[in-house]
Chain A
């Protein structure tokens, strides 16, 4: 056996041992509720993890210590009954877990660089993107997106909506001109009323309205640049595996699988080109 082959064999053996160690870890999944979005994310996690793990609903979490907790939703992330040195949160944009140990947050949106790249590919003429956000925890994401946007040749107009209930009144007073609108996945801001307001505003201004989850394209957003709930779960499993195998994992991780969905009817209304070169993965008629 050559020296190189020996090294490859040793690496493979170590990887297998690591993977085994990860699967042998005592992992508890906590879901905020039995709603389908948390279930989808958990299904993705289970697929990527390769096995089922014990599942508890927030509010009835057993008081036990485990190697890692994977929380699906803010309520789950904030539950304190079970203890663990490692918490992985997903679908929990506003969670502020107060517990000992490390926290890995799986983002609901693509990385800022990927997001900016996909937006620019979808809208080559994009020069100014208005980004709507409310909660303080969204601020770093908006700043990251602004930095990434500069790299891709457009700028971000950061538009904080401090009072989401007053959005319909404030939307007309947005300062400056923008070429597109991006709605951050901020639960304090996203609701049917505000969404309808922004959709109509964008339609009247003839600019694309971009939203952060696939389902919103069906509700009339011009396009979505999103990570599916299932892929968020997969990313959580990958991050947890890597961490338990001794790898270095950043505190914030993003799924690499990004889906761009276009609502063809909404795009037609504003004259937006949706040719294949624009990186569209899915089109809703």
Chain B
């Protein structure tokens, strides 16, 4: 639903223009005929939007979703683990920590935010790299569009729809660290109905640290996805989505080499109907469940089951001579977690219910000026009534040059653990929470510019932001308690963040493109380090830049490489260990040869400049890896 909301707003903003450009006619018609397809979604968006396509994901050989994100402007990605099998920490505009509660992640419009601890279990997401159509990255607060917990940004992962014609693909690869992977997918159907089925298997053994010891970071995953489409008439489409993920992983940085087993499953249905003109309705239902079984942790075995039910509906329409596009609707969410260990000594079943209503407008004020505004109000068990706002002016003085000024405000609901947790992390340390913890509030002022030159082949973008965070979480030792040390959390902290994000992409010709981006971020924090050692002023690299390029070399050969630089930073894990990471470079590369149509041999490498790196304080190792394999694609 939220994806559709964004689409409506962006399309409405796009409709604010009228010119004699040769493509303008097709642009206008495309908005009506293929409303979900936006050729240039970032250009006239009311927020900073970045898009990574399936073509780029394949060309650069990204192995994981967080590898896709680590080289984008404004993104902060660390290879690290939680105590239960997660493998990456992903944040936008700083504030990287073990569970990033302030960033919303959607898969085909369905939230995969974790209700127990906040954040996202990236490695367990039931999404396969081969299934991804594109990833949209929206930076900055977007709660008015996407609901709470979207304060730092939104990652929208959009997967491939079933095709109207038969098509299949399969592949296998192997590499260092005894890693292997296979995938298979097939799609078939016609104009009125189609089905896509996919499967992926990955396995990787332990890495070795500098002392030659096993890092206990092995991971094995299986993922299965099914997606069906039914179009009973030209105006109606019904989709069914389902899938699952099974993970077994070692937990590094913890004595006795424990393992975690995570299983995830989800089911969703979505119906859209065009009502004539440019109005339409959309409704969706979804259910998801995740079970974590982490064994032999220092504090004892731990299990948790998390679940979420969502129901959403919206209506969008245009009025006032097409000058205004309005979207309104509501959603209901019930999420919960069952865990004897996480909620020790209290009710082992904790839940949250969120009711939300929203309305958004895109108003063409004058020919070059569009106003986009939205407001939402939500009521929840964990946060009470919480409003969210977003307002943006888009000014397009000349064709394809858009200036943006925006203000937005977003709440972040505390996770169930922050509200009700009581967990013996190790024999010497117990984490407890506070029922009085308030929702965190993020407000952001932003200026931006998006441009298009050379028929859209050259895409520069610039964003400057100033962001304030109130009621930021803060850990402190509870005085006067006997061993174990009791560490509690409240939200007595506040912070200010400022940043500049600049990027440029240039597509020279089919298959040949380069990109570069630079990010500067600075955070000041009211309180400094807390009892857990978290210090937001130091936890975000101040300077980052990335450059990459991909080229079709002829005769089916391709090559792509990305070089990233990250300034020094400091991290602390929830297990109490800390790490000062010095400035570093990272190089990834991929070479492919399509020796006959649809058949490709490839070799790829990650982190090629380093024997290994440790990016997060938990000691998880990201070693240099090389892999090679074969993929085959059949059908048109």
Contact = CB atoms under 8 A, between A and B. Distances in A.
B511 to A, nearest CB: 6
Nearest to A159: B636
A57 B24 contact: no
Interface residues of A, number: 57
A135 B59 CA distance: 27
Contacts, number: 177
Contact of B39 (A57, A78, A169, A191): A191
Contacts of A162: 163-165, 636
Contacts of B457: 192-193, 196
A107 to B, nearest CB: 14
Given A166-B55, A219-B455, A172 B25 contact: no
A95 B33 CA distance: 7
Contacts of B53: 165-166
Contacts of A206: none
A83 to B, nearest CB: 12
B583 interface: no
Contact of A96 (B234, B454, B507, B598): B234
A175 B55 CA distance: 19
Contacts of B134: 165
A261 to B, nearest CB: 12
Interface in B618-636: 636
Contacts of B210: none
A80 B508 CA distance: 44
Interface string A167-203: 0110111010000000001011011110111001100
A157 B486 CA distance: 72
Nearest to A200: B509
Given A73-B29, A165-B134, A171-B510, A187 B34 contact: yes
Contacts of B55: 165-166, 168-169
Contacts of A192: 23, 39, 452, 455-457
A166 B636 CA distance: 12
Interface stretch (B317-325, B349-357, B369-377, B423-431): B317-325
Interface in B5-57: 15, 18-30, 32-34, 37, 39-40, 53-55
A259 B404 CA distance: 41
Interface stretch (A29-37, A113-121, A142-150): A29-37
Interface string A10-44: 00000000000000000000001111110000000
B527 interface: no
A279 interface: no
Most chain B CB neighbours (cut-off 10 Å) among A79, A96, A168, A196: A168
Nearest to B324: A59
A275 interface: no
A32 to B, nearest CB: 6
A123 B229 CA distance: 42
Interface string B160-190: 1001110000000000000000000000000
A219 B55 CA distance: 25
B443 to A, nearest CB: 34
A160 B191 CA distance: 14
Contacts of B164: 136, 162
A271 interface: no
Interface in B504-528: 507-511
Contacts of B452: 192
A58 B597 CA distance: 46
B235 interface: yes
B276 A188 contact: no
Contacts of B318: 59
Q: Which 10 A-B pairs have the closest CB atoms?
A: A215-B22, A94-B33, A187-B29, A192-B456, A187-B30, A190-B26, A200-B509, A191-B39, A59-B322, A169-B55
Interface of B: 15, 18-30, 32-34, 37, 39-40, 53-55, 58-59, 133-134, 160, 163-165, 191, 234-235, 274, 276-278, 318-322, 452, 454-457, 507-511, 552, 556, 594, 597-598, 636
